[in-house]
Amino acid sequence: MFYLVMKRIFLGPVLRLLFRPWVKGLDNVPAQGAAIIASNHLSFSDSIFMPLMVRRPVVFLAKSEYFTGTGLKGRLTALFFRLTNQLPMDRSGGAASAVSLNAGMDVLTGGGLLGIYPEGTRSPDARLYRGKVGVARLALEAGVPVIPVAMIGTDKVQPIGKRMPNIRRIGMIFGAPLDFSRYADQAEDRLVQRKVTDEIMFELMRLSGQEYVDEYAAVVKLRLAGAAATAAGGASAKRAETDGGAAGTGTDGKDPAAG
């Protein structure tokens, strides 16, 4: 109920007025029956704008950190995500991720629309990164079509790290449903899962026009964070060296103890 009220009466009309979202291919989303909506991921706001334009409710798998925040902001964020039909997705891998995917499977077996970001995390630089095979596992095991959707311009509306959005127009393109029923008896085959995932990512690249990088976005983010930490450490060491040198000299740069 909260989801529909926010979408149709309160939040939805305001967002439509401010951001004037344009949409292509919305008829590719089935009017009924289960399906996966696989999207590129440029911004936190992707999970808000895309379900806003789809006529049916969309249940998203969102990173689990959104549900475990502390303080007032953390609790409000968790409440918002739960009330807007979003499920926590543990991205650590192994059994924890499998449990999260099972929750997504429940949505599909119930005939719903499941939204998922195959990249697993937001793009650090607006490029499209390698997809994780969870989307393929769900599609093959549930026997449902995958609708690729390209979000356009949401990275400009709310870049990573920016709390307040920029008011500008955004768009989205829904591609034709991808049918993987030919692999119905190979759902557990890792090579098939990889092939299916890559096919989904190719469609996202084609629809979005993004440059594709055959590397996981999470790995790139870790590398960038490490490089930033190293640079910050180097800058701190240089400042300390400069400060230490200055502490032992007079204003003219000479040793004050010297004659």
pLDDT in tens, 144-165: 999 999 999 999 998 887 878 8
CB neighbour class for 133 (10 Å; exposed up to 12, middle 13-18, buried from 19): middle
Residue 212 has pLDDT above 50, yes or no: yes
Rounded alpha-carbon distances, angstroms, from residue 25 to 20, 152, 219 = 17, 14, 32
Residues 80 and 48: their CA atoms lie apart, in Å, by 11
Residues 105 and 96: their CA atoms lie apart, in Å, by 15
Identify whether 9 is part of a domain.
yes
Residue range 56-72: average pLDDT?
A: 80
Identify whether 251 is part of a domain.
no
Residues 173 and 28: their CA atoms lie apart, in Å, by 10
User: What pTM, to 2 d.p., does this model score?
Assistant: 0.82
Residue range 60-85: average pLDDT?
A: 74
Identify whether 172 is part of a domain.
yes
Identify whether 121 is part of a domain.
yes
Identify whether 92 is part of a domain.
yes
Range of the structural domain that residue 208 is part of = 1-213
Residue range 43-62: average pLDDT?
A: 89
pLDDT, residue 257, reads: 44
pLDDT in tens, 160-188: 878 788 999 999 999 999 999 999 999 99
Residue range 112-141: average pLDDT?
A: 96
Number of compact structural domains in the chain:
1
Identify whether 221 is part of a domain.
no
CATH of the domain at 183: 3.40.1130.10
Identify whether 40 is part of a domain.
yes
pLDDT, residue 258, reads: 46
Identify whether 259 is part of a domain.
no
For the CA atoms of 50, 54, 60, 65, the dihedral, rounded to the nearest 10 degrees, stands at 30
Q: Which residue has the tokens 């449902």?
A: 144
Amino acid at position 153, single letter = G
